[in-house]
Amino acid sequence: MEAITLTTLKILNDRVFPAHARSLEQWNRRPIPTAVSNPLFLPITAPVNEGFTAVILTYDRLESLFQVIQTMVQVPSLSKVLVVWNNQKKPPPQASMWPKISVPLKVVQTRENKLSNRFYPYEEIETECILAIDDDINMMTADELEFGYQVWREFPDRIVGFPPRNVLWNNDTRSWKYDSEWTNEVSMVLTGVAFYHKYWSYVYTTQLPGNIKEWVDANMNCEDIAMNFLVSNLTGKAPIKVTPRKKFKCGECTSGDLSANEAHMVERSQCVSHFTHEFGTMPLKTVEFRADPVLYMDNFPEKLKLYNNMGSL
């Protein structure tokens, strides 16, 4: 029944949007082998005992990478750590140099330095839930990450994470603008640290419309925006921002060069415009919503709170 329903929806999509319809070759191509379930057909709440796989994209920042791994192992629901080594000029460290942790740690070496490698459906990922996290996001607490996973369990078809972003319509230029200001409105959650269902990795790798995947890899930017477009387009739902944290040691926050930051914002806005054209619509949904733990900011003894260390703004 699931296969029939999905095939029918794909046929309807191709007829409604013929410019983006799949070719006969794409229809008849053998799919990537997978036992993963479409999150649209999952139970309302994901299983509690499976946990998640942390997928860390890295190049050569070993010190911060090891710090991220040491934080990850403190998260109760962590099942496995998968390091995606994106540096073809330098091999990963020997096994003896990696942190000794209580869960399996696997390293996969990529053939090309592409941002889309973070979303490849690696066979080493056995859990339904993936935590995509950058190798420099070393300020997160175990409580924040565990709470984020528990929120994802209640919304397994959505992206659930921490760095919020929005898109705004510019009437003067008649185009969409990428916005990183601190507001209450959220239409994207960046995948520098975010939970999502592994099904979306398969869809991202095999079914992104147009040349979006090639655009991302050529420009080395905007894979996180593309993933948000993809999920919202297929679900009709917004992502979920969790916890109050707004400051992250991320690529778009570390530069002190104003002109560099402005250029980055222009590039991101260009991505939004290009992706909107390729999808044939603006799929992102804007909401004013944030998930916080019960008793957060309440005047209760810390020992009564399940999540004590929820970070800061």
Where residue 157 sits, what CATH number does that domain have? 3.90.550.10
The pairing of beta strand 240-241 with beta strand 129-134 = unpaired
Average pLDDT, the chain: 85
Is 61 among the domain residues?
yes
Residue 10 domain flag:
no
**7 lies in a domain?**
no
In a domain, 110, yes or no: yes
Q: What is the pLDDT of residues 142-198, one digit of tens each?
A: 999 999 999 999 999 999 999 899 999 988 888 899 998 888 899 999 999 999 999
Give 267's pLDDT tier (boundaries 50, 70, 90). Answer: very high
What is the pLDDT at residue 7? Answer: 78
**pLDDT at residue number 30:** 47
Please report, rounded to a whole number, the percentage of residues in the chain having pLDDT higher than 70.
78
pTM score of the predicted model: 0.81
- The region of weakest confidence among 56-60, 206-210, 221-225, 293-297 is 293-297
Range of the domain at 239: 31-294
Cβ-count burial of 76 within 10 angstroms (0-12 exposed, 13-18 middle, 19+ buried)?
Answer: exposed
Q: Which range is most confident: 95-109, 170-184, 257-271, 295-309?
A: 95-109
Question: What's the total number of domains in the chain?
Answer: 1
215, part of any domain: yes
pLDDT of residue 38 exceeding 80 = no
Q: Please check whether residue 11 lies inside any domain of the structure.
A: no
In a domain, 311, yes or no: no
Question: What's the burial of 92, exposed, middle or buried (CB within 10 Å: 0-12/13-18/19+)?
Answer: middle
pLDDT given for residue 60 in this prediction = 87
pLDDT at 253: 42
Q: How far out from the chain centre does Cα 151 lie?
A: 15
d(Cα 158, Cα 152) in Å, to the nearest integer? Answer: 7
Within a domain: 267: yes
